[in-house]
Structure 1
Amino acid sequence: MDKPAASRYRGDFVAWAGVCGFIGEGGGGAPIAPHSHYAIQLALGAPAGLRIQFGRHGEWQTCAAALVPSRATHTIDVTGCQMSAVLFIEPETPAGKALSARLQGRLELIDPDVVDVAARRLDRAWRVERSYEAVQAVCMQLVQQVSNTAPRVPSDPRVLAAVDYIRARVDQPVSLAEVAGAANLSPGRFRHLFVQETGMPLRTYVLWRRLLHVWTLLMKGETLSGAAHAAGFADSAHLSRTSRTMFGLPPSVLQMNGPLSARARGRQHHLA
């Protein structure tokens, strides 16, 4: 049987403390380019069709869902899925710490029975209820379920203070000395602690936070150029290069025009 032509990706962006992700349909006809990022990735495809390649030359594996460890090169293909969700879990969160300890740098394929109910609930919350809050709630529960998160163990408060400082200035240049000062540490000590807690250098983390801000703005109908400037990128070309490095594709490929985006823009229009 001939494979149906893949449709252009249409989806939405969701985020909450320590986790963000995309839920959508279509895939543009080709797998995402090999890439790595600091977040742990939870990918889900429903009702079937998700494919994962671990490493640049690993074998393609078909699965219902998978966990990809932080900083691991990988490729995903969602073109065969009716609905897909890709969540990025920050390593410094309790769920991230639990998953990092379990994965130990390895790919983990998740049994379909574990995610079947969540996938159906997620599809309904997205397509039928068209509710950001409902989608977020299902995703939060799914992360807790697959991470089997232990009772909350606070991360280092100095790193959390630095993260808050960065988030509040996502559109501004921030230096190592500034952020270290917010954490009440010397630059040298802070650099070591930050990498130890987050698994990435400060500069990479700042770029990550800016990318998340871009997707939030695109959900509200902002242009690529406008979102790039508002998130502190020099221009849309700088944004695209950064997105390709961290997500394996440019923002222009993921069209934020799903049901959640439509509702968000409708509310903005109503309030204008």
Structure 2
Amino acid sequence: MDDRPKSSGHLMLITPERVFYAGLLGRPRERCPGAFHVYVALRGGLWLTTADGREAYGELVAVAPNVRHTVASDYRSAIVVTIEPESVRDGTFEDWEKRLQGIERDFFAQRIRLAYEMLLTRQCRTDIDSAELDRMCFGETLPQRKLDPRIVRAIIRIGKFSGEPVTADICAAEAGLSASRFLHLFKQETGISFRSFRAWKRARHLLHFANQDLNLAHLAQDIGYPDSTHFSHSIRRFYGLKPRAIFSGSRDLAIYSSEARTEEAALT
């Protein structure tokens, strides 16, 4: 059993549709992740600045997917809860952004801190799915988006990360659609272009390995990046940090991954 959370308090739980992270926040550089982010201060407060001029300070700040922003903490560590946009119904983030930044903000900040305490002491973490994590953090399950089965299959293929490039042409052929029709359907269903979706999922997959001592060039190739330069630029755009900085700051991070859904389960 990994006892690192007991000594450092740093942990990350990754499910197919959520990430719960408690650890170092990193230097306040601009980032643009592809998921909804809820930042919660462990102590003190957080400063948020977005590219469109929004500024906020508090124990909890929330940012919609694909919004360039900078976040800084009064202390080095913070909690971050991320929610994948294709997993929730349209309009969910707009509603929750209002709730999280309204009169319930302190309540949700405290609830997410309590979820962190529960994860620290829980004996098994790999059996937690997205719905349970929602209930732990927000007291309810976020409304799930129903996706076209053809798009679900494409998402599953993207998430296999076999090292082979997953192209729109391949996914379109499997769906029995032309490439142009597939790309239109993919954006209609998920709210994001196929290319942007694939780029974000590739960067997200890096999190599974962040505490390991790996050759980063080999890792980049294994998860589908064409070269190290593309890898570094992509990771810095999404996370505001170079890959090496992420790995350096994650040495005492305990990472737990829930079981990925099977294709049959995802399509039911």
Shift of 1:16: 0.7
Contact kept, 8 Å, 1:180 with 1:186, in 2: the verdict is yes
Matches within 5 A, 1:196-215: 196-215=188-207
Equivalent of 1:111 in 82, 94, 105: 105
Amino acid at match of 1:99: T
Look up the SS of the partner of 1:92 in the other structure.
helix
Does residue 73 (structure 1) correspond to residue 68 (structure 2)? The answer is yes
Amino acid at match of 1:149: L
Q: Deviations over 1:195-230 (max 9, x none)?
A: 122222212222222212222123344332332121
Does residue 62 (structure 1) correspond to residue 33 (structure 2)? The answer is no
Q: Deviations over 1:98-132 (max 9, x none)?
A: 5235268x895261122313303404634x66864
Change (3 A) 1:23 1:237: farther
Amino acid at match of 1:164: I
Structure 1: state its 5+ residue gaps: 1-8, 265-272
Q: Deviations over 1:141-192 (max 9, x none)?
A: 345537x524x45222221111012112452112211111223322111111
Aligned length: 245
Matches within 5 A, 1:1-272: 11-25=10-24, 27-28=25-26, 30-33=27-30, 35-59=31-55, 61-78=56-73, 80-81=74-75, 83-94=77-88, 97-102=90-95, 109=101, 111-123=105-117, 125-126=119-120, 132-133=125-126, 139-142=133-136, 144-145=138-139, 149-150=142-143, 152-254=144-246, 255-261=249-255
Higher relative contact order, chain-length normalized (CA < 8 Å, sep 6+): 2
Distance 1:10 1:56 in 2: 34
Contact kept, 8 Å, 1:170 with 1:210, in 2: the verdict is no
Q: Deviations over 1:225-268 (max 9, x none)?
A: 3321211223433221001112222222232223515x99xxxx
Distance 2:87 2:93 in 1: 10
Structure 2: state its 5+ residue gaps: 1-7, 258-268
Look up the SS of the partner of 1:222 in the other structure.
coil
Name whichever of 217-226 and 136-145 sits farther off. 136-145
Look up the SS of the partner of 2:165 in the other structure.
coil
Change (3 A) 1:134 1:118: farther
Percent of aligned positions that are identical? 20
TM-score with structure 1 setting the length: 0.75
Amino acid at match of 1:214: L
